Structure 1
Amino acid sequence: MTGPVRARLGALAALLVLLSAGLLTACGSTTAGGAAASSSAVSTGRHTITVFAAASLKQTFTLLGKQFEAAHSGTTVAFSFAGSSDLAAQIAQGAPADVFASADTKNMDKVTGPGLADGEANDFATNVLTIAVRPGNPSGIAALADLTKPGVKLVECAAQVPCGSAAQAAAKAAGNGAGVTLKPVSEESNVTDVLGKVISGEADAGLVYVTDVKGASGKVDSVPFPEASAAVNHYPIAVLRDSKDKDPARAFVAYVSSPEGRKVLADAGFGAP
Protein backbone atom coordinates (compact mmCIF):
# COMPACT_ATOMS: atom_id res chain seq x y z
CA MET A 1 0.00 0.00 0.00
CA THR A 2 1.46 3.34 -1.07
CA GLY A 3 1.94 6.24 1.30
CA PRO A 4 -0.76 8.49 -0.22
CA VAL A 5 -3.37 5.67 -0.07
CA ARG A 6 -2.45 4.89 3.53
CA ALA A 7 -2.85 8.55 4.46
CA ARG A 8 -6.30 8.79 2.86
CA LEU A 9 -7.49 5.65 4.70
CA GLY A 10 -6.27 7.10 8.01
CA ALA A 11 -8.17 10.33 7.41
CA LEU A 12 -11.33 8.37 6.56
CA ALA A 13 -11.03 6.36 9.77
CA ALA A 14 -10.66 9.52 11.81
CA LEU A 15 -13.74 10.97 10.15
CA LEU A 16 -15.75 7.85 11.00
CA VAL A 17 -14.68 8.12 14.64
CA LEU A 18 -15.82 11.73 14.78
CA LEU A 19 -19.17 10.89 13.17
CA SER A 20 -19.76 8.04 15.65
CA ALA A 21 -18.98 10.30 18.59
CA GLY A 22 -21.45 12.86 17.27
CA LEU A 23 -24.20 10.27 16.95
CA LEU A 24 -23.59 9.04 20.49
CA THR A 25 -23.71 12.59 21.83
CA ALA A 26 -26.97 13.20 19.99
CA CYS A 27 -28.50 10.03 21.43
CA GLY A 28 -27.34 11.02 24.90
CA SER A 29 -29.00 14.43 24.53
CA THR A 30 -32.30 12.84 23.51
CA THR A 31 -32.26 10.54 26.54
CA ALA A 32 -31.42 13.36 28.91
CA GLY A 33 -34.15 15.51 27.37
CA GLY A 34 -36.70 12.71 27.78
CA ALA A 35 -35.77 12.27 31.42
CA ALA A 36 -36.06 16.01 32.00
CA ALA A 37 -39.48 16.07 30.36
CA SER A 38 -40.64 13.20 32.55
CA SER A 39 -39.32 14.93 35.66
CA SER A 40 -41.13 18.11 34.62
CA ALA A 41 -44.42 16.20 34.29
CA VAL A 42 -44.06 14.87 37.82
CA SER A 43 -43.13 18.27 39.21
CA THR A 44 -46.36 19.83 37.94
CA GLY A 45 -47.98 18.46 41.13
CA ARG A 46 -50.95 16.62 39.62
CA HIS A 47 -52.87 14.73 42.30
CA THR A 48 -56.20 13.02 42.82
CA ILE A 49 -57.51 12.77 46.36
CA THR A 50 -60.41 10.52 47.30
CA VAL A 51 -62.82 11.84 49.91
CA PHE A 52 -65.22 9.49 51.72
CA ALA A 53 -68.09 11.68 52.94
CA ALA A 54 -71.48 11.22 54.58
CA ALA A 55 -74.44 11.18 52.20
CA SER A 56 -75.84 14.36 53.77
CA LEU A 57 -72.74 16.22 52.55
CA LYS A 58 -73.18 15.39 48.87
CA GLN A 59 -74.37 18.76 47.62
CA THR A 60 -72.07 20.89 49.76
CA PHE A 61 -68.94 18.79 49.26
CA THR A 62 -69.51 18.52 45.52
CA LEU A 63 -69.51 22.33 45.39
CA LEU A 64 -66.54 22.59 47.76
CA GLY A 65 -64.65 20.10 45.60
CA LYS A 66 -65.13 22.24 42.51
CA GLN A 67 -64.03 25.37 44.35
CA PHE A 68 -60.99 23.59 45.77
CA GLU A 69 -59.95 22.32 42.33
CA ALA A 70 -60.24 25.84 40.92
CA ALA A 71 -57.99 27.17 43.70
CA HIS A 72 -55.49 24.27 43.49
CA SER A 73 -54.51 23.73 39.88
CA GLY A 74 -53.54 20.14 39.12
CA THR A 75 -55.51 18.60 42.00
CA THR A 76 -58.67 16.59 41.40
CA VAL A 77 -61.11 15.64 44.16
CA ALA A 78 -63.02 12.36 43.79
CA PHE A 79 -65.90 11.65 46.17
CA SER A 80 -67.58 8.56 47.56
CA PHE A 81 -70.83 9.41 49.36
CA ALA A 82 -72.64 6.89 51.57
CA GLY A 83 -73.79 6.32 55.13
CA SER A 84 -71.03 7.13 57.61
CA SER A 85 -71.16 3.65 59.12
CA ASP A 86 -70.64 2.05 55.70
CA LEU A 87 -67.74 4.37 54.91
CA ALA A 88 -66.06 3.71 58.27
CA ALA A 89 -66.36 -0.03 57.66
CA GLN A 90 -64.83 0.33 54.19
CA ILE A 91 -61.89 2.29 55.59
CA ALA A 92 -61.35 -0.36 58.28
CA GLN A 93 -61.26 -2.98 55.52
CA GLY A 94 -58.55 -1.11 53.66
CA ALA A 95 -60.50 0.85 51.06
CA PRO A 96 -58.19 3.47 49.49
CA ALA A 97 -59.15 6.97 50.56
CA ASP A 98 -57.40 10.17 51.62
CA VAL A 99 -60.06 11.97 53.69
CA PHE A 100 -63.06 10.88 55.77
CA ALA A 101 -65.91 13.24 56.69
CA SER A 102 -68.48 11.65 59.00
CA ALA A 103 -71.95 12.80 60.03
CA ASP A 104 -71.21 11.91 63.64
CA THR A 105 -68.34 11.36 66.05
CA LYS A 106 -69.30 7.75 66.76
CA ASN A 107 -68.39 6.54 63.28
CA MET A 108 -65.32 8.77 63.13
CA ASP A 109 -64.16 7.09 66.36
CA LYS A 110 -64.19 3.78 64.48
CA VAL A 111 -61.47 5.26 62.27
CA THR A 112 -59.45 7.37 64.71
CA GLY A 113 -59.62 4.78 67.51
CA PRO A 114 -57.66 2.06 65.66
CA GLY A 115 -55.20 4.66 64.36
CA LEU A 116 -56.52 4.76 60.79
CA ALA A 117 -56.45 8.57 60.73
CA ASP A 118 -53.39 10.77 60.33
CA GLY A 119 -53.76 12.80 63.50
CA GLU A 120 -56.96 13.98 65.14
CA ALA A 121 -60.33 14.64 63.56
CA ASN A 122 -61.75 18.16 63.67
CA ASP A 123 -65.43 19.15 63.77
CA PHE A 124 -66.44 21.40 60.88
CA ALA A 125 -70.27 21.54 61.06
CA THR A 126 -73.41 20.53 62.93
CA ASN A 127 -76.81 19.37 61.74
CA VAL A 128 -80.23 18.58 63.22
CA LEU A 129 -83.20 16.51 62.18
CA THR A 130 -86.52 17.62 60.78
CA ILE A 131 -89.55 15.75 59.47
CA ALA A 132 -89.75 15.68 55.70
CA VAL A 133 -93.30 15.39 54.37
CA ARG A 134 -94.81 15.52 50.90
CA PRO A 135 -95.62 19.02 49.61
CA GLY A 136 -98.73 20.37 51.33
CA ASN A 137 -98.30 17.87 54.20
CA PRO A 138 -101.37 15.75 53.23
CA SER A 139 -100.96 13.52 56.30
CA GLY A 140 -101.24 16.49 58.65
CA ILE A 141 -97.98 15.83 60.49
CA ALA A 142 -97.41 18.55 63.08
CA ALA A 143 -95.23 16.89 65.72
CA LEU A 144 -92.93 13.92 66.25
CA ALA A 145 -95.74 12.04 68.02
CA ASP A 146 -97.87 12.31 64.87
CA LEU A 147 -95.50 9.89 63.17
CA THR A 148 -97.04 7.14 65.32
CA LYS A 149 -100.59 7.75 64.04
CA PRO A 150 -102.26 4.79 62.30
CA GLY A 151 -101.76 4.79 58.55
CA VAL A 152 -98.72 7.10 58.55
CA LYS A 153 -95.89 5.55 56.55
CA LEU A 154 -92.67 6.63 58.20
CA VAL A 155 -89.16 6.01 56.84
CA GLU A 156 -85.98 6.62 58.81
CA CYS A 157 -82.32 5.67 58.77
CA ALA A 158 -81.07 2.42 60.29
CA ALA A 159 -79.86 2.73 63.88
CA GLN A 160 -76.15 2.43 62.99
CA VAL A 161 -76.38 5.39 60.61
CA PRO A 162 -75.99 8.86 62.20
CA CYS A 163 -79.45 10.04 61.14
CA GLY A 164 -80.96 6.84 62.59
CA SER A 165 -79.10 7.24 65.87
CA ALA A 166 -80.28 10.86 66.06
CA ALA A 167 -83.87 9.76 65.38
CA GLN A 168 -83.73 7.32 68.29
CA ALA A 169 -82.35 10.01 70.61
CA ALA A 170 -85.10 12.42 69.57
CA ALA A 171 -87.79 9.77 70.09
CA LYS A 172 -86.51 9.09 73.62
CA ALA A 173 -86.65 12.81 74.41
CA ALA A 174 -90.27 13.20 73.26
CA GLY A 175 -93.13 13.62 75.73
CA ASN A 176 -90.94 15.30 78.34
CA GLY A 177 -88.72 12.26 78.46
CA ALA A 178 -91.50 9.69 78.30
CA GLY A 179 -90.52 8.92 74.74
CA VAL A 180 -92.43 7.76 71.70
CA THR A 181 -92.08 4.50 69.81
CA LEU A 182 -91.49 5.02 66.13
CA LYS A 183 -92.39 2.17 63.80
CA PRO A 184 -90.94 2.91 60.37
CA VAL A 185 -92.08 0.90 57.37
CA SER A 186 -88.43 0.77 56.26
CA GLU A 187 -84.99 1.68 57.54
CA GLU A 188 -82.45 2.98 55.03
CA SER A 189 -78.65 2.89 54.96
CA ASN A 190 -78.35 6.63 54.35
CA VAL A 191 -80.40 9.80 54.65
CA THR A 192 -80.53 10.35 50.89
CA ASP A 193 -82.60 7.19 50.48
CA VAL A 194 -84.99 8.30 53.24
CA LEU A 195 -85.56 11.60 51.48
CA GLY A 196 -85.98 9.83 48.15
CA LYS A 197 -88.84 7.69 49.47
CA VAL A 198 -90.74 10.74 50.68
CA ILE A 199 -90.20 12.51 47.36
CA SER A 200 -91.37 9.47 45.40
CA GLY A 201 -94.51 9.09 47.55
CA GLU A 202 -93.47 5.72 48.98
CA ALA A 203 -93.57 7.29 52.44
CA ASP A 204 -95.70 9.98 54.09
CA ALA A 205 -92.85 11.22 56.24
CA GLY A 206 -89.15 10.73 56.81
CA LEU A 207 -86.69 11.83 59.47
CA VAL A 208 -83.90 13.66 57.65
CA TYR A 209 -81.58 16.60 58.27
CA VAL A 210 -82.69 20.20 57.79
CA THR A 211 -80.01 20.46 55.11
CA ASP A 212 -81.64 17.64 53.12
CA VAL A 213 -84.99 19.42 52.98
CA LYS A 214 -83.31 22.69 52.02
CA GLY A 215 -81.40 20.93 49.25
CA ALA A 216 -84.55 19.24 47.93
CA SER A 217 -85.68 22.53 46.35
CA GLY A 218 -89.37 22.33 47.23
CA LYS A 219 -89.85 18.61 46.53
CA VAL A 220 -90.72 18.12 50.21
CA ASP A 221 -91.91 20.30 53.07
CA SER A 222 -90.32 20.47 56.51
CA VAL A 223 -91.96 20.01 59.91
CA PRO A 224 -89.54 21.09 62.65
CA PHE A 225 -89.88 19.51 66.09
CA PRO A 226 -88.29 20.59 69.39
CA GLU A 227 -86.95 17.14 70.28
CA ALA A 228 -84.42 17.50 67.45
CA SER A 229 -82.32 19.67 69.77
CA ALA A 230 -81.66 16.55 71.84
CA ALA A 231 -79.83 14.97 68.91
CA VAL A 232 -77.45 17.49 67.36
CA ASN A 233 -74.98 15.77 65.06
CA HIS A 234 -71.39 17.00 64.97
CA TYR A 235 -69.54 16.43 61.70
CA PRO A 236 -65.80 15.63 62.03
CA ILE A 237 -63.24 15.35 59.20
CA ALA A 238 -59.78 13.77 59.12
CA VAL A 239 -56.93 12.90 56.78
CA LEU A 240 -56.43 9.13 56.67
CA ARG A 241 -53.22 7.41 57.72
CA ASP A 242 -52.76 5.50 54.45
CA SER A 243 -53.33 8.51 52.20
CA LYS A 244 -50.86 8.62 49.30
CA ASP A 245 -51.31 12.38 48.90
CA LYS A 246 -51.33 13.81 52.40
CA ASP A 247 -50.41 17.37 51.45
CA PRO A 248 -53.38 17.97 49.11
CA ALA A 249 -55.58 15.96 51.50
CA ARG A 250 -54.63 18.28 54.37
CA ALA A 251 -55.23 21.27 52.12
CA PHE A 252 -58.76 20.04 51.35
CA VAL A 253 -59.51 19.50 55.05
CA ALA A 254 -58.30 23.02 55.76
CA TYR A 255 -60.42 24.39 52.92
CA VAL A 256 -63.59 22.83 54.36
CA SER A 257 -63.04 24.79 57.59
CA SER A 258 -61.92 27.97 55.84
CA PRO A 259 -64.21 31.02 55.55
CA GLU A 260 -65.07 29.93 51.99
CA GLY A 261 -65.96 26.44 53.16
CA ARG A 262 -68.00 27.64 56.12
CA LYS A 263 -70.01 29.92 53.84
CA VAL A 264 -70.97 27.02 51.57
CA LEU A 265 -71.95 24.93 54.59
CA ALA A 266 -73.94 27.75 56.21
CA ASP A 267 -75.78 28.47 52.95
CA ALA A 268 -76.83 24.81 52.88
CA GLY A 269 -78.22 25.02 56.43
CA PHE A 270 -75.38 23.47 58.43
CA GLY A 271 -74.63 24.96 61.82
CA ALA A 272 -71.23 26.02 63.11
CA PRO A 273 -69.17 23.30 64.84
Structure 2
Amino acid sequence: MSNRPMRAALAGALALALTLAGCGDGDDTAGAAGGSGVTGTVTVLAAASLTESFIQIGKDFEAAHPGTTVVFNFGGSSALATQINQGAPADVFASAAPRNMATVTEAGNADGEPSTFVRNQLVIAVARDNPKGITNLADLTRPGTKVALCAEQVPCGAAARTALDAAAVKLTPVTLEQDVKGALAKVRLGEVDAALVYRTDAKAAAGDVTGVEFPESARAINDYPIVLLKGAPNRVGGQAFVGYVRSEAGRAVLTEAGFQAS
Protein backbone atom coordinates (compact mmCIF):
# COMPACT_ATOMS: atom_id res chain seq x y z
CA MET A 1 0.00 0.00 0.00
CA SER A 2 2.82 2.40 0.80
CA ASN A 3 4.03 2.30 -2.84
CA ARG A 4 0.74 3.58 -4.28
CA PRO A 5 1.42 7.29 -3.65
CA MET A 6 4.84 6.91 -5.28
CA ARG A 7 3.36 5.11 -8.30
CA ALA A 8 0.73 7.85 -8.65
CA ALA A 9 3.41 10.56 -8.50
CA LEU A 10 5.53 8.80 -11.13
CA ALA A 11 2.51 8.34 -13.38
CA GLY A 12 1.67 12.02 -13.05
CA ALA A 13 5.22 13.05 -13.82
CA LEU A 14 5.25 10.82 -16.91
CA ALA A 15 1.96 12.26 -18.14
CA LEU A 16 3.27 15.81 -17.67
CA ALA A 17 6.48 14.96 -19.55
CA LEU A 18 4.50 13.52 -22.47
CA THR A 19 2.29 16.60 -22.53
CA LEU A 20 5.29 18.94 -22.58
CA ALA A 21 6.95 16.88 -25.32
CA GLY A 22 3.93 17.49 -27.51
CA CYS A 23 4.18 21.26 -27.00
CA GLY A 24 7.48 21.86 -28.74
CA ASP A 25 8.03 24.51 -31.35
CA GLY A 26 5.27 25.01 -33.87
CA ASP A 27 7.28 23.75 -36.85
CA ASP A 28 8.01 20.35 -35.31
CA THR A 29 4.56 19.77 -33.88
CA ALA A 30 2.45 20.85 -36.85
CA GLY A 31 4.77 19.15 -39.32
CA ALA A 32 4.66 15.82 -37.50
CA ALA A 33 1.75 14.56 -39.59
CA GLY A 34 3.84 14.90 -42.73
CA GLY A 35 6.99 13.78 -40.97
CA SER A 36 8.83 16.79 -42.34
CA GLY A 37 8.83 19.34 -39.53
CA VAL A 38 7.68 21.94 -42.06
CA THR A 39 4.62 24.04 -41.38
CA GLY A 40 3.26 27.58 -41.44
CA THR A 41 3.38 30.23 -44.14
CA VAL A 42 6.25 30.29 -46.63
CA THR A 43 6.57 33.66 -48.37
CA VAL A 44 8.23 33.59 -51.79
CA LEU A 45 9.21 36.59 -53.92
CA ALA A 46 9.61 35.39 -57.50
CA ALA A 47 10.13 36.74 -61.01
CA ALA A 48 6.89 37.29 -62.92
CA SER A 49 7.89 34.72 -65.52
CA LEU A 50 7.71 32.01 -62.83
CA THR A 51 4.05 32.73 -62.04
CA GLU A 52 2.31 29.70 -63.55
CA SER A 53 5.05 27.23 -62.68
CA PHE A 54 5.50 28.39 -59.09
CA ILE A 55 1.76 28.43 -58.42
CA GLN A 56 1.68 24.76 -59.40
CA ILE A 57 4.83 24.01 -57.41
CA GLY A 58 3.29 25.82 -54.44
CA LYS A 59 0.21 23.58 -54.57
CA ASP A 60 2.38 20.48 -54.82
CA PHE A 61 4.57 21.67 -51.94
CA GLU A 62 1.51 22.25 -49.73
CA ALA A 63 0.27 18.75 -50.54
CA ALA A 64 3.67 17.29 -49.65
CA HIS A 65 3.82 19.28 -46.40
CA PRO A 66 0.38 19.39 -44.74
CA GLY A 67 0.03 22.48 -42.57
CA THR A 68 1.94 24.77 -44.93
CA THR A 69 0.70 27.68 -47.02
CA VAL A 70 2.83 29.20 -49.76
CA VAL A 71 2.26 32.91 -50.42
CA PHE A 72 3.74 34.42 -53.57
CA ASN A 73 4.63 37.94 -54.61
CA PHE A 74 5.42 37.97 -58.34
CA GLY A 75 6.99 40.92 -60.11
CA GLY A 76 10.02 42.28 -61.90
CA SER A 77 13.20 40.87 -60.35
CA SER A 78 14.73 44.32 -59.92
CA ALA A 79 11.70 45.60 -58.00
CA LEU A 80 11.61 42.48 -55.82
CA ALA A 81 15.31 42.82 -55.02
CA THR A 82 14.71 46.41 -53.96
CA GLN A 83 11.83 45.33 -51.70
CA ILE A 84 14.03 42.72 -50.03
CA ASN A 85 16.84 45.20 -49.43
CA GLN A 86 14.33 47.63 -47.95
CA GLY A 87 13.29 45.03 -45.39
CA ALA A 88 10.27 43.27 -46.92
CA PRO A 89 9.75 40.09 -44.87
CA ALA A 90 10.11 36.98 -47.03
CA ASP A 91 11.63 33.52 -46.92
CA VAL A 92 12.75 32.90 -50.50
CA PHE A 93 13.80 34.95 -53.53
CA ALA A 94 13.79 33.52 -57.07
CA SER A 95 15.20 35.91 -59.66
CA ALA A 96 15.11 35.81 -63.47
CA ALA A 97 18.74 36.89 -63.67
CA PRO A 98 21.93 36.70 -61.57
CA ARG A 99 22.36 40.48 -61.72
CA ASN A 100 19.25 41.11 -59.64
CA MET A 101 20.14 38.32 -57.26
CA ALA A 102 23.56 39.94 -56.78
CA THR A 103 21.78 43.08 -55.57
CA VAL A 104 20.41 41.03 -52.69
CA THR A 105 23.52 39.00 -51.91
CA GLU A 106 25.83 42.03 -51.98
CA ALA A 107 23.55 43.74 -49.46
CA GLY A 108 23.99 40.75 -47.14
CA ASN A 109 20.36 39.66 -47.38
CA ALA A 110 20.86 36.11 -48.64
CA ASP A 111 21.23 33.12 -46.33
CA GLY A 112 23.81 31.07 -48.20
CA GLU A 113 24.80 30.97 -51.86
CA PRO A 114 22.12 31.27 -54.56
CA SER A 115 21.83 28.32 -56.95
CA THR A 116 20.67 28.34 -60.56
CA PHE A 117 17.63 26.07 -60.97
CA VAL A 118 16.49 26.76 -64.57
CA ARG A 119 17.22 28.86 -67.65
CA ASN A 120 14.90 30.73 -70.01
CA GLN A 121 15.06 32.08 -73.53
CA LEU A 122 13.29 34.84 -75.45
CA VAL A 123 10.77 34.57 -78.29
CA ILE A 124 8.84 37.18 -80.24
CA ALA A 125 5.24 37.08 -79.02
CA VAL A 126 2.67 37.96 -81.68
CA ALA A 127 -1.09 37.50 -82.01
CA ARG A 128 -1.93 33.83 -82.46
CA ASP A 129 -2.38 34.01 -86.25
CA ASN A 130 0.66 36.32 -86.65
CA PRO A 131 -1.20 38.80 -88.90
CA LYS A 132 1.94 40.80 -89.74
CA GLY A 133 3.97 37.75 -90.69
CA ILE A 134 6.78 38.51 -88.25
CA THR A 135 9.55 35.92 -88.48
CA ASN A 136 12.64 37.65 -87.10
CA LEU A 137 13.88 40.66 -85.15
CA ALA A 138 14.40 42.78 -88.27
CA ASP A 139 10.67 42.49 -89.02
CA LEU A 140 9.99 44.44 -85.84
CA THR A 141 11.40 47.57 -87.47
CA ARG A 142 8.85 47.65 -90.27
CA PRO A 143 6.97 50.97 -90.47
CA GLY A 144 3.83 50.95 -88.34
CA THR A 145 4.87 47.92 -86.29
CA LYS A 146 4.26 48.48 -82.59
CA VAL A 147 6.58 46.64 -80.20
CA ALA A 148 6.61 46.26 -76.41
CA LEU A 149 9.79 45.55 -74.49
CA CYS A 150 10.59 45.16 -70.82
CA ALA A 151 12.53 48.01 -69.21
CA GLU A 152 16.26 47.32 -69.32
CA GLN A 153 16.65 47.04 -65.54
CA VAL A 154 14.29 44.04 -65.69
CA PRO A 155 15.89 40.73 -66.76
CA CYS A 156 13.65 40.29 -69.82
CA GLY A 157 14.57 43.83 -70.90
CA ALA A 158 18.29 43.26 -70.48
CA ALA A 159 18.02 40.01 -72.45
CA ALA A 160 16.06 41.77 -75.20
CA ARG A 161 18.76 44.42 -75.49
CA THR A 162 21.44 41.73 -75.79
CA ALA A 163 19.49 39.91 -78.50
CA LEU A 164 18.75 43.09 -80.46
CA ASP A 165 22.39 44.11 -80.31
CA ALA A 166 23.44 40.66 -81.51
CA ALA A 167 21.11 41.04 -84.49
CA ALA A 168 22.24 44.63 -85.10
CA VAL A 169 18.61 45.69 -84.92
CA LYS A 170 17.63 49.09 -83.58
CA LEU A 171 14.02 49.74 -82.73
CA THR A 172 12.02 52.12 -80.59
CA PRO A 173 9.37 50.35 -78.52
CA VAL A 174 6.04 52.06 -77.93
CA THR A 175 6.14 50.95 -74.30
CA LEU A 176 8.64 49.71 -71.70
CA GLU A 177 7.05 47.39 -69.16
CA GLN A 178 8.21 46.64 -65.63
CA ASP A 179 7.90 42.86 -66.01
CA VAL A 180 7.42 40.29 -68.74
CA LYS A 181 3.73 39.78 -67.99
CA GLY A 182 3.13 43.45 -68.70
CA ALA A 183 4.81 43.18 -72.11
CA LEU A 184 2.87 40.03 -72.94
CA ALA A 185 -0.42 41.65 -71.92
CA LYS A 186 0.09 44.36 -74.53
CA VAL A 187 0.09 41.68 -77.25
CA ARG A 188 -2.88 39.83 -75.78
CA LEU A 189 -4.89 43.05 -75.67
CA GLY A 190 -3.94 43.98 -79.23
CA GLU A 191 -2.20 47.17 -78.11
CA VAL A 192 1.05 46.16 -79.83
CA ASP A 193 1.94 43.86 -82.70
CA ALA A 194 4.78 42.09 -80.93
CA ALA A 195 6.77 41.86 -77.72
CA LEU A 196 9.98 40.15 -76.67
CA VAL A 197 9.03 37.78 -73.87
CA TYR A 198 10.25 34.50 -72.44
CA ARG A 199 9.43 31.28 -74.23
CA THR A 200 7.64 30.07 -71.10
CA ASP A 201 5.30 33.07 -71.03
CA ALA A 202 4.37 32.65 -74.69
CA LYS A 203 3.69 28.96 -74.05
CA ALA A 204 1.47 29.76 -71.06
CA ALA A 205 -0.55 32.16 -73.26
CA ALA A 206 -0.67 29.83 -76.28
CA GLY A 207 -4.42 30.36 -76.67
CA ASP A 208 -3.86 34.03 -77.43
CA VAL A 209 -0.32 34.38 -78.79
CA THR A 210 2.28 32.62 -80.88
CA GLY A 211 5.94 32.54 -79.90
CA VAL A 212 8.25 33.15 -82.85
CA GLU A 213 11.72 31.72 -82.29
CA PHE A 214 14.76 33.68 -83.46
CA PRO A 215 18.43 32.64 -83.45
CA GLU A 216 19.80 35.62 -81.49
CA SER A 217 17.86 34.48 -78.43
CA ALA A 218 20.61 31.92 -77.86
CA ARG A 219 22.90 34.86 -77.05
CA ALA A 220 20.57 36.06 -74.28
CA ILE A 221 19.66 33.03 -72.19
CA ASN A 222 18.84 33.97 -68.60
CA ASP A 223 19.91 31.89 -65.59
CA TYR A 224 17.35 31.82 -62.75
CA PRO A 225 18.89 31.70 -59.26
CA ILE A 226 17.02 30.98 -56.03
CA VAL A 227 18.05 31.53 -52.41
CA LEU A 228 16.84 31.43 -48.83
CA LEU A 229 16.72 34.94 -47.40
CA LYS A 230 18.54 36.10 -44.30
CA GLY A 231 16.17 36.56 -41.39
CA ALA A 232 13.49 34.45 -43.07
CA PRO A 233 10.39 34.36 -40.84
CA ASN A 234 9.97 30.66 -41.69
CA ARG A 235 13.51 29.48 -42.27
CA VAL A 236 12.67 25.77 -42.16
CA GLY A 237 9.81 26.26 -44.59
CA GLY A 238 11.95 28.42 -46.87
CA GLN A 239 14.71 25.83 -46.98
CA ALA A 240 12.18 23.13 -47.79
CA PHE A 241 10.66 25.19 -50.60
CA VAL A 242 14.05 25.84 -52.20
CA GLY A 243 14.76 22.12 -51.98
CA TYR A 244 11.41 21.28 -53.55
CA VAL A 245 11.96 23.65 -56.47
CA ARG A 246 15.26 21.90 -57.15
CA SER A 247 13.81 18.41 -56.69
CA GLU A 248 12.79 16.08 -59.49
CA ALA A 249 9.14 16.97 -58.92
CA GLY A 250 9.81 20.71 -59.08
CA ARG A 251 11.99 20.40 -62.16
CA ALA A 252 9.29 18.39 -63.92
CA VAL A 253 6.83 21.26 -63.51
CA LEU A 254 9.37 23.80 -64.75
CA THR A 255 10.41 21.71 -67.75
CA GLU A 256 6.78 21.18 -68.75
CA ALA A 257 6.37 24.97 -68.72
CA GLY A 258 9.23 25.33 -71.21
CA PHE A 259 12.15 26.19 -68.92
CA GLN A 260 15.54 24.70 -69.71
CA ALA A 261 17.37 22.56 -67.18
CA SER A 262 20.25 24.32 -65.44
Q: TM-score, normalised by structure 1?
A: 0.84
Please state if 1:165 is matched with 2:158: yes
Instruction: State the partner residue of 1:211.
Output: 200
How far apart, in 2, do the equivalents of 1:258 and 1:129 lie? 25
For 2:95 and 2:225, locate their aligned partners in 1 and report how far apart those are by CA, in whole Å: 6
Contact 2:40–2:237 (CA under 8 A) maintained in structure 1: yes
- Structure-1 residue corresponding to 2:54: 61
Q: Which residue of 1 aligns with 2:36?
A: none
Match for residue 145 of structure 2? Answer: 152
Rg: which structure is higher? Answer: 1
- How far does residue 197 in structure 1 lie from its aligned partner after superposition? 0.7
1:221 corresponds to which letter in structure 2?
T
- Amino acid of the structure 2 residue aligned with 1:229: A
| 1:142 shift after superposition | 1.1
Q: In the alignment, residue 186 of structure 1 is paired with which amino acid?
A: T
Taking structure 2 as the reference length, what is the TM-score of the superposition? Answer: 0.87
User: For residue 23 of structure 2, what is the amino acid of its counterpart?
Assistant: S
Residue equivalent to 1:223: 212
Distance in 2 separating the partners of 1:196 and 1:76: 29
Q: Helix, strand or coil: the match of 1:39? A: coil
Counterpart of 2:87? 94
Alignment of structure 1 residues 1-273 onto 2, 5 Å: 39=23, 42=26, 43-45=29-31, 46-174=39-167, 179-273=168-262
1:157-198 deviation line (CA, Å, top 9, x unaligned): 000000000000001100xxxx11121000000000111110
1:157 maps to amino acid: C
**Deviations for 1:106-133, whole angstroms, at most 9, x for unmatched residues?**
0000011121000000000000000000
Supply the AA of the counterpart residue of 1:184. Answer: P
Deviation at 1:242, TM superposition (A): 1.4
Indicate the RMSD between aligned Cα atoms, in angstroms: 1.7
Distance 1:266 1:71 in 2: 20
* Structure 2 unaligned blocks of 5 or more: 1-15, 32-38
TM-superposed deviation, 1:40: 6.7
Question: Deviations along 1:193-248, whole A, 9 cap, x unmatched?
Answer: 11111001001000000001110132101111000001000000000001021111
Give SS of 2:203's match. Answer: helix
CA distance in 1, matches of 2:117, 2:95: 10
> Percent identity at matched positions?
54
Give, in whole Å, the separation in 2 of the partners of 1:262 and 1:105: 19
Q: Which amino acid aligns with 1:141?
A: I
Residue 40 to residue 247, structure 1, CA distance change in 2 (3 Å): closer
**Gaps spanning 5+ residues in structure 1: where?**
1-31
Flag as ranges the 4+ runs of structure 1 deviating above 4 A: 35-38
How many equivalent pairs are there? Answer: 237
CA distance in structure 2 between the partners assigned to 1:142 and 1:225 by the alignment = 8
- Supply the distance in 2 between the matched residues of 1:37 and 1:258 (Cα, whole angstroms): 32
